[in-house]
Structure 1
Amino acid sequence: LIREAVSRLTVNKQNLLYKMIDGDLMRLEAKDIFDAAREGDAFSLDLVDYEAEYLALGIANILNIINPEVIVLGGGVALAGDILLNPLREKLSKYALPVTLEGLKIVQGVLGNEAGIKGAVGLFN
């Protein structure tokens, strides 16, 4: 998401996201994109839609192969909440078999950005 945003921001600087980071592309974080999208910034909303499309494709592949009951999104992107989860849910039907969507729950992980670190520590306990 950051790589795509930086690529687009080098061409289009007329948006709320660019103003929020004071034009400093090195300090851009996913949180900035989601915050700008919540403010209604069309540029950021398009980035969120882009991310939702690729997440939907990847998650649908998992659904079609192993058909889990729950998908847990972790890390910083999961903290986006409904601004990302709602378009993700809408796009899943394009890629996933209908039977895999019946009763499917998509939830946010509770560990946020620390999920990987805590998981790694758990391996040594």
Structure 2
Amino acid sequence: GVIRETLSRLQINKTNGVYKAIDGDLNKLEAKHVFDEAKKGDEFALSIVDYVAEYLSMGIGNVLNIINPDVIILSGGVALAGDILLDKVKEKLPNYALAITIENLKIKLGELGNDAGIKGASALTI
């Protein structure tokens, strides 16, 4: 989703840090480029982080309102963003989740990276 939104916006705006980071080659684009540029303060990248945080907060809020877990673990490309995305999500979450579901909620970043699925599947075969 990060890449899809960024590609869409890059069709209109090529004067930003993300476009420079990929040397204008849209095939090189990864979510990491967006998050790295956002950490440097690039307004274009920050607007994408804000967009992603809005929808991620909405999704997490729905999960919280339905099953009220104690912990939410984010992994994959989203986990690479770190605090720049996590802080935005925490800021926006009260707009979508009941206050009681946020009180003791912990949001953590996954530690297994892209190998989480493989490791989980192999654990099932043991």
Q: TM-score, normalised by structure 1?
A: 0.96
Residue 75 of structure 1 deviates from its aligned partner by 1.2
Partner of residue 23, structure 1: 24
Where does residue 11 of structure 1 map in the other structure? 12
Computed over aligned residues only, the root mean square deviation of the Cα atoms, in angstroms, reads: 0.9
Within 5 Å, give how 1:35-114 maps onto structure 2: 35-114=36-115
Q: How much has 1:66 moved relative to structure 2?
A: 0.5
- Aligned with 2:81: secondary structure? coil
Q: Distance in 2 between matches of 1:122 and 1:27?
A: 34
Question: How many angstroms apart in 2 are the aligned matches of 1:17 and 1:71?
Answer: 29
**Which amino acid in 2 is paired with 1:50?**
Y
How far residue 37 of structure 1 moved from its aligned partner, in angstroms, is: 0.3
Shift of 1:120: 2.6
- Whole-angstrom distance in 1 between the partners of 2:42 and 2:118: 33
- Provide the rounded CA distance (Å) in 2 between the counterparts of 1:116 and 1:6: 27
5+ residue gaps in structure 2? none
Name the counterpart of 1:116.
117
The amino acid across from 2:99 in the alignment is P
Q: Write out the 4+ residue segments of structure 1 that deviate beyond 3 Å after TM superposition.
A: none
Q: Secondary structure at the match of 1:79?
A: helix
Corresponding pairs, count: 125
Per-residue deviation, 1:74: 1.1
Q: How far has the Cα of 1:121 moved from its partner?
A: 2.6
The CA distance in 2 between the partners of 1:105 and 1:95, in whole Å, is 16
Matched residues in 2 for 1:122 and 1:49: separation? Answer: 36
AA at the equivalent of 2:108: V
AA matched with 2:30? E
3-state secondary structure, aligned to 1:72 = strand
TM-score (norm. length: structure 2): 0.95
Shift of 1:112: 1.3
In 2: Cα distance, 1:85 partner to 1:110 partner: 15
Alignment check: 8 A CA contact 1:75 1:114 kept: no
